[in-house]
Amino acid sequence: MLTRSYQVNDEYFNFDNLRNENNRMNQLSEIKAVTRRIRSKLVEMSHKAGTPHLGSSLSCVDILAACYWRVLFIDPKAPNHETRDRFILSKGHACSALYAALAYRGFFPEITLDSFNQNGSSLAEQPSPNCVPGLELATGSLGHGLPVGIGMMLAGLILNCSYRVYVLMSDGECNEGSVWEAALFAPAHKLEKLVVIIDYNKWQATGRSNEITALAPLSEKWKAFGWSVYEVDGHDLEMLIQVLNQVPDGSGKPVAIIANTVKGKGVSFMEDDNNWHYRSPSAEELKRARQELGFST
């Protein structure tokens, strides 16, 4: 974990130093182990709390791990530092995954995860403002993250704070008109440190995202809107880390990363089965899932 204290000066803006430090502390094998821990925890949380959206959470675990362990310039000890990179989980229904990532990354105690969705807990199914350290935006209603992220990016430029803004959206979320209002706006202002990541698992709540709306070709759409687009395997940590880190990419454009993913990734009987948008696992299913992920009990 990063323990250095940030300073608002050139040293902080030396991205290479920070990147080297990140790399030294978090070997790829360690991050892979973290993704297994997170996935196992998510299945457990869904089972215990009876919550839906497990497939959506599992879908974006690798993206979150890449961001929180190897990309974002953040410090769990200074979660509100003004020069931190901003990460917005716009697909708020996958928040269990963000809670787990933040807890394992040291933003709050892991034991807090056990209170997920319990009456009176700070961890609601979808996050409320400032419910845990490290949470940048309360989401749940779709199509809000990108406009707010653009505002944060613009503020950074006006205030001379050289941070980057990452917004993780779902493919179903691209149904929302506000996404495209924002998609039109950002390139006009050359927001090259703004990154949209689309967790493209080809499912939305009740059907195939490419049947419900004409989403495809998604990369071409973002390209046509003026974004610098990368299409990657959203479960390939190495590739994710490489692409997410090369921001700004020199094109002068905001970056859109189309991450091809599998809904329910990591648990064989949940993968690409949209029933897991609503179902929560039984005790038996939890046991099987944990075994698959390499945990004995």
Partner 1 sequence: MRNAFADEMTKLAASDSRMILLSGDIGNRLFDRYKDSFPTRFLNCGVAEANMIGMASGMALSGLRPVVYTINAFATVRCLEQIRVDVCYHKAPVIIVGVGAGLSYASLGGTHHSLEDIAMLRALPGMTIVCPGDPIEVRLALRAAIKHDGPVFIRLGKKGEPNIHREIPPFVIGKGIVVRPGKEVCLLSTGHILPVALEAAEALERKGISAQVTSFHTVKPLDEALLTDIFSKFMVVATIEEHSILGGLGGSIAEWMVDQWTRGTRGIKGTQSAYFYRFGTADHFFHEAGDQTYAQAHFGLTAEHISKKIFELCATYSEKLMKL
Q: Within 224-263, which residues bind partner 1 (CB under 8 A)?
A: none
Question: Helix, strand, or coil here: 201?
Answer: coil
Cβ contact 171:199 at 8 Å: yes
Give CA–CA dist 89/148, Å, rounded: 11
Under rule CB under 8 A, residue 7 binds partner 1: no
Find, among 61, 51, 165, the residue nearest to 105 by Cα. Answer: 61
Helix (H) or strand (E) holding 169: strand 165-170
Site for partner 1 contains 132 (CB under 8 A): no
- Cis preceding-peptide flag for 147 (omega within 30 of 0): no
Is the Cβ of residue 125 or residue 292 nearer to partner 1 in the bound state?
A: 125
Q: Which position among 153, 218, 243, 258 is part of the footprint of partner 1 (CB under 8 A)?
A: 153
- Would you count residue 187 as binding partner 1 (CB under 8 A)? no
Helix (H, G, I), strand (E, B) or coil at 62: helix
If the CB atoms of residues 60 and 179 are measured against partner 1, the closer one turns out to be: 179
What is the C-alpha separation between 161 and 177, in angstroms, rounded?
30
Residue of 55, 79, 106, 149 that binds partner 1 (CB under 8 A) = 149
Q: Which of 24, 29, 119, 129 binds partner 1 (CB under 8 A)?
A: 129
Structural tokens at position 87: 């990460």
# chain residues binding partner 1, by CB under 8 A? 28
3-state secondary structure of 74: coil
Among 31, 132, 152, 243, binds partner 1 (CB under 8 A): 152
Q: Does residue 131 bind partner 1 (CB under 8 A)?
A: no
Shortest gap between Cβ of 261 and partner 1 (angstroms)?
A: 25
Which residues would be at the binding site for partner 1 (CB under 8 A)?
A: 82, 128-129, 136-138, 141, 143-144, 146-156, 158-159, 177-178, 181-182, 184-185
